[in-house]
Structure 1
């Protein structure tokens, strides 16, 4: 039985295979495009029976490989990248990271079942990616428009009307694009989880962020505590001796963490208004 972990990147996937006793069998580097997905599975089968694949970044660089493996009946779990302390002790390289993650899969300490990414929530995620880039483009156009108006010499401003018009049209077009995306994101979010928006304080933005964190298969999350940990909302024990305390969790899904933070602030304001 072979355990495989894949350290995912933009251009290259690095995979490490371990046998059932934890001994390293082989390492392989393959491209991240579809041409590299099948060879990774065939490479693993060449060493034995593929058991579990642990993949870092199942929602980003490893999304394509995750879908391919699941379609071929392979169990995939999501693993987190090694912490700074682990890297200080073991060093840092793609192979070292992959081996450490493979051992976490064998030890049962991996993060959990990977997102399926095959439904409406995945559509919401891609729309939010497009919205984020549109927001950046709108901000850039606004900043450039302001810079031209403020910094241009007085004698040149009349001759800069074409540049100002171009930037203003760009700003308006991007703003219209954002409005269209917002409508579609809200429609999909309400269609996917109508009960979620019955919760006081949850709007389209916070609701969409929480849906994306849970994924199209939220049953993979075993409990409310697992969801809180995934969102970085569960405090981390930091006790020693007679001192019993916890510290803030800096990990987890930061978009979902921000959504919970904004939800808490909004509820606090609403409570203050009622008082």
Structure 2
């Protein structure tokens, strides 16, 4: 009985569909396939890779973004994943976009790509997700406070004088409890409503 051939996969990751290619160990293109970025698509992709031979390794672009979940899935199924950097734009323009996914697999085959991607799981990944949201919330809070203070500075005197000496916490409490009125033709009411 003959041994199955050994193959190397290359995957170009995207939002909705991952484009995959498979080559043999001497660099011959065997097949190309597009599969959805869903759990069923990941299973199909792995089955498709295995249908061409024994998978040695998969070269993948975007293991920290579009390919994060696929990378976790492949590693959980004992597939070695190598991060492949996107070819520089000048090289892509000169050579054209033809089969970049083959290039990912070839980069692994020729040892040009050797980076082990971050696993993007466990406590570190959980903390990273929380930090991303926190940083965004802090930035939004700062922008909102700056906008409020800017409005206070340019508000009509009756509004400005009532609010300018308050701390940020006092200012937010006062504004949350305020009832600005309904006469939007008056600048003081309009700025109170905006605040």
Compute the TM-score of the two structures, normalised by the length of structure 2: 0.73
CA distance in 2 between partners of 1:63 and 1:79 (Å)? 13
1:63 has 2:94 as partner: no
Q: 1:25 to 1:153 in 2, by over 3 A?
A: farther
Post-superposition offset of 1:18: 0.8
Matched, 1:157 2:162: no
The alpha carbon displacement at 1:158 in A equals 2.8
What do you get for the CA RMSD once the two structures are aligned?
2.3
In the alignment of these two chains, the number of paired residues is 162
Structure with greater proportional helix content = 1
Moved over 6 A (4+): 150-154
Contact kept in structure 2, 1:54 and 1:78, CA below 8 Å? yes
Q: Which runs of 5+ in 2 are unaligned?
A: 1-5, 158-185
Q: Structure 1 29/147 Cα, relative in aligned 2: closer, same or farther at 3 Å? A: farther
Q: 1:12 to 1:140 in 2, by over 3 A?
A: farther
Match of 2:99, SS? helix
Structure with greater Cα Rg:
2
SS at match of 2:58: strand
Give the equivalent residue in structure 2 for 1:228. Answer: none
Instruction: Check 1:159–1:63 CA distance in 2 against 1; reply closer, same or farther (3 A cut).
Output: same
Equivalent runs, 1:1-275 vs 2, <5 Å: 1-92=6-97, 96-142=99-145, 144-145=147-148, 148-149=151-152, 155-164=186-195
The gaps in structure 1 that reach 5 residues or longer are 165-275
Q: CA deviation at 1:131?
A: 2.1
Residue deviations 1:198-233 (CA, integer Å, cap 9, x gap): xxxxxxxxxxxxxxxxxxxxxxxxxxxxxxxxxxxx
Q: Which has the higher contact order (CA 8 A, sep 6+)?
A: 2
With normalisation by structure 1, the TM-score equals 0.53
